[in-house]
Structure formats: C-alpha cells, structure tokens
C-alpha cells in the first residue's frame, strides 16, 4: 500500500517502490528533483497525472514540501492545479497547510481557485490560519520559556 508521505500515523505506511515509475515520479516531485521530473515526463507524459493512494499528485507533493521550482515546472508542463485528493485538498490547500507562502503565491498567479473547499468544507485561508496560529503559539511559548 502506498500512502501519502505526510500521513500522521505510521500504520500502513511503507517506503515507495522506486522501481515503479509512478511512485518514483511522486517521490522525486516530493524531493524537488526537477532533472528527474523532466527526464521522466519526456519518457512518459502520463506521469503528470499519477496519484498516490490518497489522491496526492506530484504537484501536491512539491507544494507541501515547498519546492517552488518543481511546482513551477509541473505547472508549465500542464499539471492540474485544481486536482483533488480523497479529502478534497487542492495543491493550494497543501501549500497553505504547511505555510509555504511562495508556493501559495505561485499557485494563485497561475489562477487557482482561492476559495476552494475541501471535502470537510475547509478553506485554503483556514488552513493557512491554522499554520500561522501554530507558529505564533510556538514562538510565544519559546519566547516565554527563554525569558525565565
């Protein structure tokens, strides 16, 4: 079973089968390996639309791992910027969840739906707010403990 790289629990997670071209493509997008992505797409353009078991595309993976060059490359190659995971997340949700503001900007300038809602009706702005709130709490807790 191949599941998303950032699933919170470890149950059912296994390493990607790097002999499988689709899994290798997703993994290299997650790592931001543009040279590999270029070569792989030249050999098999259909890789642009592969997903993992949870519906994450190469664009989702590059977006949540903050690989701006890979996101830009995948968009230039025609990646579906509105692709949805099984939970209804777009690549923009993925970027917002991890606070990847440069990716957010790149996707917005590409024309993605900034009002997209997940299957649970979560907006992109709500995802970004949760990230910012977490950073703020962490910062404040760190500051208060270092003040002692």
Predicted pLDDT of residue 2: 40
Q: Which helix (H) or strand (E) holds 103?
A: helix 101-110
Mean pLDDT computed over 15-37: 92
The SS3 of residue 120 is coil
* Residue 57, beta-bridge partner list: 51
**Nearest CA among 145, 105, 144, 147 for reference residue 124:** 105
Predicted pLDDT of residue 6: 47
Cα–Cα distance measured from residue 29 to residue 19, given in angstroms and rounded to the nearest whole number: 15
Mean pLDDT computed over 18-42: 96
- What would the pLDDT profile of 64-109 be if each residue is shown by its tens digit? 999 999 999 999 999 999 999 999 999 999 999 898 999 999 999 9
Q: Which pTM does this prediction carry? A: 0.79
| Full set of structural domains in the chain with CATH | 21-146 (1.25.40.20)
Name the DSSP class of 117.
B
């Amino acid at each position: 079973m191949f599941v998303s790289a950032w699933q919170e629990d470890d149950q059912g997670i296994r390493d990607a089968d790097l002999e499988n071209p689709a899994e290798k493509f997703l993994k290299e997008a997650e790592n931001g390996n543009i040279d590999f992505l270029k070569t792989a797409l030249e050999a098999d353009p259909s890789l642009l639309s592969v997903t993992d078991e949870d519906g994450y595309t190469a664009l989702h993976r590059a977006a949540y791992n903050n690989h701006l060059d890979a996101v830009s490359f995948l968009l230039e190659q025609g990646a579906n910027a509105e692709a949805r995971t099984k939970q209804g997340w777009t690549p923009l949700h993925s970027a917002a969840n991890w606070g990847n503001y440069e990716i957010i900007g790149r996707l917005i300038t590409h024309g993605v739906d900034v009002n997209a809602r997940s299957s649970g009706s979560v907006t992109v702005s709500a995802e970004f707010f949760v990230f910012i709130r977490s950073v703020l709490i962490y910062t404040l807790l760190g500051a208060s403990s270092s003040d002692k």
